[in-house]
């Protein structure tokens, strides 16, 4: 049982995306890599906590938006000056673009979303609406 490997089914869109990347690299030149950063989402009593790993990203290169119930996080890591090939024997670190989107539940208060960013970790607090929060209902004796 210790040899189990997670399996990610390959869809037609994954294959088309890979082919687009190959053609763009050959005919247009290397572009920033796009990938989805790792994220954790936790539901709490008063809202949701979204934590996203964004290594190598500066705060000025980070964008967070909410549009039509979709939370989108976009960022760029690395610098154009780092792309010069001079003197490298191995070149694995490159400029990268990160994008991640999440569909938010209908009980979300979009106006109250707050964000903090430190040490490559983006933390978003997404509050629930007052009407959706758990509450005690008093029971009266008849």
Expressed as residue numbers, the domain containing 101 is 32-84+93-131
* Model pLDDT for residues 99-111, shown as the tens digit of each residue: 889 998 888 888 8
* Model pLDDT for residues 57-106, shown as the tens digit of each residue: 889 999 999 988 889 999 888 765 555 667 777 766 667 788 889 998 88
Gyration radius of the chain over CA positions: 21
Average pLDDT, the chain: 77
Per the domain annotation, does 10 fall within a domain? Answer: no
Q: What is the CATH number of the domain that holds 49?
A: 2.60.40.790
Q: Is the pLDDT at 34 greater than 60, yes or no? A: no
Per the domain annotation, does 38 fall within a domain? Answer: yes
Q: What per-residue confidence (pLDDT) applies to 79?
A: 65
- 74-to-35, 59, 66 alpha-carbon distances in Å: 10, 11, 12
Q: What per-residue confidence (pLDDT) applies to 25?
A: 61
Per the domain annotation, does 51 fall within a domain? Answer: yes
- Range with the lowest mean pLDDT among 9-18, 68-77, 103-112, 127-136? 9-18
- 3-to-6, 123, 135 alpha-carbon distances in Å: 10, 34, 46
Q: What per-residue confidence (pLDDT) applies to 5?
A: 47
Per the domain annotation, does 142 fall within a domain? Answer: no
Q: How far is the C-alpha of 62 from the C-alpha of 96, rounded, in Å?
A: 12
- 104-to-114, 120, 125, 126 alpha-carbon distances in Å: 15, 23, 12, 9
Please report which confidence band the pLDDT of residue 19 belongs to, taking 50, 70 and 90 as the band edges.
low
CA nearest to 122, candidates 51, 56, 67: 51
- Range with the lowest mean pLDDT among 37-41, 78-82, 113-117, 131-135? 78-82
How many structural domains is the chain composed of? 1
Q: How far is the C-alpha of 75 from the C-alpha of 36, rounded, in Å?
A: 10
Q: Is the pLDDT at 131 greater than 80, yes or no? A: no
Q: What per-residue confidence (pLDDT) applies to 7?
A: 47
């Amino acid at each position: 049982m210790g040899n189990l490997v997670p399996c990610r089914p390959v869809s037609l869109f994954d294959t088309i995306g890979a082919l687009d990347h190959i053609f763009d690299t050959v005919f247009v030149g290397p572009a920033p890599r796009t990938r989805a950063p790792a994220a954790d989402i936790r539901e709490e009593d008063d809202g949701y906590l979204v934590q996203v790993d964004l290594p190598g990203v500066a705060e000025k290169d980070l964008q967070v938006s909410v549009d039509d119930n979709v939370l989108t996080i976009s960022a760029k890591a690395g610098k154009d000056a780092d792309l010069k090939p001079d003197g490298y024997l191995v070149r694995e670190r490159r400029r990268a673009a990160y994008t991640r989107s999440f569909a938010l539940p209908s009980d979300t208060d979009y106006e109250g979303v707050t964000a903090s960013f430190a040490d490559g970790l983006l933390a978003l607090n997404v509050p629930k609406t007052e009407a959706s929060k758990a509450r005690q209902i008093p029971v009266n004796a008849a």
